[in-house]
Amino acid sequence: MTETSSFAVDPAAATEQARVLAQALPFLRRYAGATVVVKYGGHAMGEEHLAEQFGSDIALLKQVGINPVVVHGGGPQINAMLKRLAIQSTFVDGLRVTDAAMVEVVEMVLAGTVNKYVAGLITKAGALAVGICGKDGAMIRARKLTRTKVDPGSNIEKVLDLGFVGEPVGVDVRVIHALTGGGLVPVIAPVGVGADGQTYNINADTVAAAVAGALNATRLLMLTDVPGVLDKDKKLIEELSLTDVQARIDDGTITGGMIPKVENCVEAVRQGVKGAVILDGRVPHACLLELFTEAGPGTLIKR
């Protein structure tokens, strides 16, 4: 019998708690000791109550024996700092053109303010989190990202100069393993380093996919501002194979900004991740719902 308390116990609430725990138990066993990479960003990061819930959820994953690794974005925070510094920002195909002055601001915001804020959310919730960036221990090795675009007038393909925007060419997981093995939660800012020591700004989705692949993660969770991948009737597609993804891109079901997200998920699965999920980070406890219930709220991409 449990110790008595001066507080009244609601039998119905206690029964519901027991039911939820019983339903979650098979999933807790399934993911025991597993590595789960979570890409965190969007409105879920900007709204305080959702941010606190996120920190609590990641802390809970660590406390029940899962190894969460968080990769975060920070576009709105970068925009706010650039505005304060009166630095103009331009985008090409959704990628921020990053010159020498801007890459310093990007590193300061991502690896500084945002990184420590996210780590603080998790630590406050009861799990020790450590904020790092891809430059630490040369963890994320990068090269300059090149993009080409066909001029509609001349039909000539031109190379676009995005400045210090990079793409991962390798992930050294030793730093991550050292942290997770020591009972810590790594929180990674998407800043990489080139062979010459140059700092590169990298898309957070791309970094999350590369990290998940290098860790051979059980799950990659991409938190977004939409429910997942939608069909042409705007209904959620619960599961896609790799060939399904390409077919949906070809027939125009998957368009716009969702294309690079699903392509990153596909790349992660090809590298060995057992499943990648695109889900709505604005849904309370989205990560827990995805991992510990039978029908997760997002779109699962797997082989």
User: What's the confidence (pLDDT) of residue 1?
Assistant: 47
Inside any domain, residue 282: yes
Q: What is the mean pLDDT of the chain?
A: 90
Show the tokens assigned to 263. 């392509």
Residue 289 to residue 213: CA distance in whole angstroms: 23
Q: Which residue from 271, 269, 270 is spatially nearest to 299, judged by alpha carbons?
A: 269
Which range, of 82-96, 203-217, 225-239, averages the lowest pLDDT?
82-96
User: What's the confidence (pLDDT) of residue 206?
Assistant: 97
Higher pLDDT, 120 or 94: 120
pTM over 0.95: no
Inside any domain, residue 16: no
Contacts of 132 (CB under 8 A, 6+ apart): 115, 139, 175, 179, 186, 187, 188, 189
Span 107-150, pLDDT tens digits: 999 999 999 999 999 999 999 999 999 999 999 999 999 887 77
Asked if residues 21 and 33 have their Cβ atoms less than 8 Å apart, the reply is no
How many structural domains is the chain composed of?
Answer: 1
Inside any domain, residue 93: yes
Residue 65 to residue 30: CA distance in whole angstroms: 11
Inside any domain, residue 1: no
Inside any domain, residue 22: no
66: domain CATH number? Answer: 3.40.1160.10
On the question of pLDDT at 21 being above 80, the answer is: no
- The percentage of the chain sitting over the pLDDT mark of 70, rounded to a whole number, equals 95
Q: Which domain holds residue 105?
A: 31-302
- The percentage of the chain sitting over the pLDDT mark of 90, rounded to a whole number, equals 70
Over residues 289-298, mean pLDDT? 86
Inside any domain, residue 144: yes
DSSP class of residue 47 equals S
Span 65-92, pLDDT tens digits: 999 999 999 988 998 999 999 888 888 7
Inside any domain, residue 21: no
Over residues 218-230, mean pLDDT? 95
Asked if residues 193 and 137 have their Cβ atoms less than 8 Å apart, the reply is no
Inside any domain, residue 25: no
Task: Count Cβ atoms below 10 Å from residue 183 Cβ, excluding itself.
Answer: 10
Please say whether the dihedral angle defined by the alpha carbons of residues 64, 69, 75 and 78, taken in this order, is positive or negative.
positive
- In the structure, what pLDDT confidence band is assigned to residue 9 with cuts at 50, 70 and 90? low
Higher pLDDT, 38 or 15: 38
